[in-house]
Amino acid sequence: LILMLKFVILVPEKLDSTTTTTTTLSTITTTISTLTTTTTATTTSTTTTTTSSITSTSTITTARHSGWSNTGNMTEIRMEHTASLLQNGKVLVTAGFYDDTHLNSSELYDPLTGSWTSTGSMNQGRDGHTASLLSNGKVLVTGGIGEQDYLNHAELYNPSTETWTVTNSMKDKRNFAAACLLADGNVLVTGGFNGDTILDSVEVYDPSTEIWTTTGYMAEARDGHTASLLPNGKVLVAGGFSRHTFQNTAELYHPSTKTWTTTDSMKDRRDYHTATVLTNGNVLVTGGSYGGITQNSAELYDYSTETWKTVGTMNNARHNHQAVLLNDGKVLVTGGSNGSRALHTAELYDPSTELWTTIGNMNNARDYHTACLLTDGNVLVAGGSGDSTDLNTAELYSPSIRTSITINKMNNIQDNHEISH
């Protein structure tokens, strides 16, 4: 009896260095049917099919390393300005301060070209103001300080016409107030300094009527504070400077009742800090200053339990910095001042580990700048005050992105052969 078996095994082509290939050869089973013999001289042939399976798994991985790169310069040098991501993907930068002038200019950054173009001028020059993107795509700018006085003046930018129009003024003049877009599309503006005193008053702007309404008073007057919209629709206001002291207190605004209630206080007193709402709805507060001391501490507010906890310390103490939530859920903190100079440094907070990691330095040291997440996941940092001069430079942070595509392919190979006797 002679068995002649022939097998064919396909070998995948060599892949490039970025491709990882694993090949699994399944067990090859050969079944030979029972041979039938007779007493006569007869040759019996039995056909046997052998099947082998090769599964090839190819994982193609591409990576983009994180880092900073310069992009086009703004048309004007500015600090204490604002930056708003518009619905069309462009970034609107408004006003600010430079060379003893409160600017009324505004400009647009186009991520597709990396260039800036001037857009309509505001009706009032200002810095230390707020800017809120409304649900209708317009941008509401409020308050700040102008050439002659602190401002209650407000105006609207229309991206479709690239023009500014005056809207109704706030009840109070406010500089370094905090504004927050509510779930119903209205805008809550809190506290600030009116030139004489720090305010505890609060008002709400209704875009449909363009009317301001006073809505209660905070438990503490404050400026240099933060206001953050929580997933439950409430607004968390934290820190700032009051009429006599730096604050570690926090309070909640309830839009349904238009009332304020106190909540757990932060561990540290701070103003000119940042507050970032994480993907799980909790709020990360970083840095700030207290009595001339710049903080490197960070705290996390759990909105479900209404309590604070410390989450490590940043690698650099900083105030007047910026913090941006990235698409991967991490928080990028940039620049600021350590109390004596502007900073180049930047770092990342990872909510999954509650750890801080330094990343590459920015190309320019800066505080009083802006940082804005773009639709492509990059972060645009613009303007501010540098080591020795105010800036019109802008740069992009590109997060490290790793993508993988896995391809599974099975090749079934059949081989027919004969066994003769």
Residue 32: the pLDDT is 29
- Contact between residue 114 and residue 72 where contact means Cβ atoms under 8 Å apart: yes
Closest CA to 338 of 355, 321, 359: 321
Mean pLDDT for the stretch of residues 12-16: 36
Nearest-angstrom CA–CA distance, 228 and 238: 9
Tokens 């993508």 sit on residue = 403
Q: How sure is the predictor about 56, in pLDDT bands with cuts at 50, 70 and 90?
A: low
* Average predicted confidence (pLDDT) for the chain: 86
HSE at residue 230, side-chain half, CA atoms within 13 A, is: 21
**In the chain, % of residues over pLDDT 70:** 80
Q: How sure is the predictor about 65, in pLDDT bands with cuts at 50, 70 and 90?
A: low
Nearest-angstrom CA–CA distance, 183 and 392: 34
Cβ partners under 8 Å of residue 116, min gap 6: 72, 73, 74, 75, 107, 108, 109, 110, 394
Mean pLDDT for the stretch of residues 126-130: 99
Alpha helix locations (H) across 309-408? none
Nearest-angstrom CA–CA distance, 119 and 107: 5
pTM: 0.81
Instruction: List pLDDT tens digits, range 185-215.
Output: 999 999 999 999 999 999 999 999 999 999 9
Nearest-angstrom CA–CA distance, 297 and 287: 6
Nearest-angstrom CA–CA distance, 157 and 105: 12
Q: Is the pLDDT of residue 62 over 80?
A: no
Nearest-angstrom CA–CA distance, 303 and 12: 54
- Contact between residue 121 and residue 164 where contact means Cβ atoms under 8 Å apart: yes
CA 342, 74, 78, 189 torsion: positive or negative? negative
Instruction: List pLDDT tens digits, range 96-109.
Output: 999 999 999 999 99
- Contact between residue 138 and residue 119 where contact means Cβ atoms under 8 Å apart: no
Nearest-angstrom CA–CA distance, 125 and 132: 17
Residue 66: the pLDDT is 75
> What are the tokens at 138?
């317009």
Tokens 């190979």 sit on residue = 413
Q: How sure is the predictor about 39, in pLDDT bands with cuts at 50, 70 and 90?
A: very low
What is the fold, at CATH topology level, of the domain defined by 66-399? Neuraminidase (2.120.10)
Task: Tell me the C-alpha to C-alpha distance, in Å, between residue 50 and each of 4, 30, 33, 53.
Answer: 12, 5, 12, 10
- Contact between residue 369 and residue 82 where contact means Cβ atoms under 8 Å apart: no
**Residue 306 CB-density burial (10 A; 0-12 exposed, 13-18 middle, 19+ buried):** middle
Task: Tell me the C-alpha to C-alpha distance, in Å, between residue 267 and each of 46, 221, 237, 250.
Answer: 85, 19, 15, 11
Task: Tell me the C-alpha to C-alpha distance, in Å, between residue 191 and each of 84, 185, 243, 250, 277.
Answer: 21, 20, 11, 13, 20
Helix (H, G, I), strand (E, B) or coil at 257: coil
Residue 408: the pLDDT is 54
Alpha carbon 301 to its chain centroid, in Å, reads 18
Residue 22: the pLDDT is 35
- Contact between residue 372 and residue 82 where contact means Cβ atoms under 8 Å apart: no
251: number of Cβ within 10 Å: 20
> What are the tokens at 220?
């503490």
Nearest-angstrom CA–CA distance, 284 and 274: 8
Q: How sure is the predictor about 87, in pLDDT bands with cuts at 50, 70 and 90?
A: very high
Q: Which of 14-18, 58-62, 187-191, 373-377 has the lowest mean pLDDT?
A: 14-18
Q: Is the pLDDT of residue 42 over 60?
A: no
- Domains of the chain: which residue ranges? 19-62+404-420, 66-399
Task: Tell me the C-alpha to C-alpha distance, in Å, between residue 390 and each of 82, 127, 402.
Answer: 15, 14, 36
HSE at residue 136, side-chain half, CA atoms within 13 A, is: 13
Q: Is the pLDDT of residue 38 over 50?
A: no
Q: To which H or E segment does residue 208 belong?
A: none
Q: How sure is the predictor about 298, in pLDDT bands with cuts at 50, 70 and 90?
A: very high
Nearest-angstrom CA–CA distance, 332 and 349: 7
